[in-house]
Amino acid sequence: MATTDHAQLNRAALARSTAVGDNLDSAATQAAGLILDWLTDGPLSLNELDRLAQERGLSYQRVREARETLVKNGRIRLRNRRFELTRKAN
């Protein structure tokens, strides 16, 4: 469990650094951290990401901003219609 906690802290720090570099607001920063967390378990489709975000009460706009920023910065990629982490995100 400690490894998971450490990995979550790393992803949260990465999301914050990504957000600061791209001037994302705090909601988009939170969404970026959650996206990185969700993708740790494996690739997810756009619909699956949107569903998870909706369950958390995150706005579609903020999630889209976060997802686009993570793709642009090479943290995640779209492959076979599913988003997945890149080595840069680990």
Domain 2-89 has CATH 3.40.190.10: no
Distance CA 9, CA 60 (A): 24
Indicate the DSSP class of residue 89: G
pTM, rounded to two decimals: 0.73
Distance CA 40, CA 48 (A): 14
pLDDT digits (tens, 9 = 90+) for 23-67: 667 778 888 888 988 998 899 999 999 999 999 898 888 889 999
Contact 20, 54 (CB under 8 A): no
Among candidate residues 11, 43, 15, the one with its CA nearest the CA of residue 29:
15
